[in-house]
Amino acid sequence: MGEIWIPLALSLKVALWATGINLVLGVAVAYGLSRWRHPVRELVDAILTLPLVLPPTVLGYYLLVLLGTHGVVGEWLDRHGIRFVFTWQGAVVASTLVAFPLVQKAARAAFENVDPQLENAARVLGLRELPVFFRVSLPLAARGITAGALLAFARAMGEFGATLMIAGNLPGRTQTLSVAIYAAVGAGHDEVAGLMVIVTSVTCVVALLLAAWLAPGHAPVRRLDS
């Protein structure tokens, strides 16, 4: 059973880290974008959505160019003992990048649905901007953000392409569930592969059901911006 548990545990660890990072990063960016009135805003939003549509191999390539041992940032990081290539941290970076738009989009829609009057009420009652965010905007957007985070978790669980390119396929170290399935099928271990497929599917279905249950009105509420 170790051949399933080890990759499953690694997948869960990677997906949880990716979701946690996105909860901070995605929410911060989404809040910024929802308050920012500038024509460039939609361009920034489009660029941030790219990971959703680009082939994972392209993302993996970008990551290698950036974080590889001879990469733009990677060389400097390597001198400080930080490595992303062939490490589970690399898998976290890949999963974070791929799942980022899911949190960002959900959080932005949630923030834009918060009545600005409530934030104004908090300001008139004497609050600074940071308390307004933590006491009014964030709690009112929490449902939408959580739904986005669950989607991101499911997406991170299923990450394959970019993860394989940067973290590789090292059993017990960087071999996540989805990579392990690929390896098992390649080696002809169909039964093991089948079991892992079921485990992955069930995990993702649970996450999606929770997300659907949390999503307001079971359909994303959109507001048109001028």
Q: What is the rounded CA–CA span in Å between residue 138 and residue 110?
A: 9
Between the two ends of the chain, the Cα-to-Cα distance in Å is: 56
Nearest CB to other proteins, comparing residues 39 and 126: 126
Asked if 221 interacts with other proteins (CB under 8 A), we say: no
> HSE-up of 37 (CA within 13 Å, CB side)?
2
Q: Considering CB under 8 A, how many residues would be counted as binding other proteins?
A: 20
Asked if 135 interacts with other proteins (CB under 8 A), we say: yes
The window from 2-10, 16-24, 103-111, 131-139 that contacts other proteins (CB under 8 A) reads 131-139
The window from 20-28, 58-66, 105-113, 117-125 that contacts other proteins (CB under 8 A) reads 117-125
In angstroms and rounded to an integer, the radius of gyration of the C-alpha atoms of the chain is 20
Asked if 38 interacts with other proteins (CB under 8 A), we say: no
Nearest CB to other proteins, comparing residues 32 and 131: 131
Nearest CB to other proteins, comparing residues 53 and 130: 130
Q: Are 158 and 199 in contact (CB under 8 A)?
A: no
Asked if 226 interacts with other proteins (CB under 8 A), we say: yes
Q: What is the rounded CA–CA span in Å between residue 44 and residue 42?
A: 5
Residue 177, both tokens: 């569930």
Altogether, the residues listed in the chain come to a count of 226
Q: Are 174 and 168 in contact (CB under 8 A)?
A: yes
Nearest CB to other proteins, comparing residues 116 and 172: 116
Q: Please select the residue that binds other proteins; options are 123, 170, 187, 216, rule is CB under 8 A.
A: 123
Asked if 110 interacts with other proteins (CB under 8 A), we say: no
**Rounded least distance, CB 67 to other proteins, Å:** 34
The window from 27-35, 65-73, 127-135, 199-207 that contacts other proteins (CB under 8 A) reads 127-135
Q: What is the rounded CA–CA span in Å between residue 63 and residue 57?
A: 10
Asked if 28 interacts with other proteins (CB under 8 A), we say: no
Q: Give me the long-range contacts of 188-194 (CB less than 8 A, separation at least 24).
A: 189/3, 192/3, 192/4
Asked if 128 interacts with other proteins (CB under 8 A), we say: yes
Cβ-proximal residues to 213 (8 Å cutoff; 6+ apart), any chain: none
Site residues for other proteins per CB under 8 A: 115, 117-118, 120-128, 130-131, 134-136, 139-140, 226
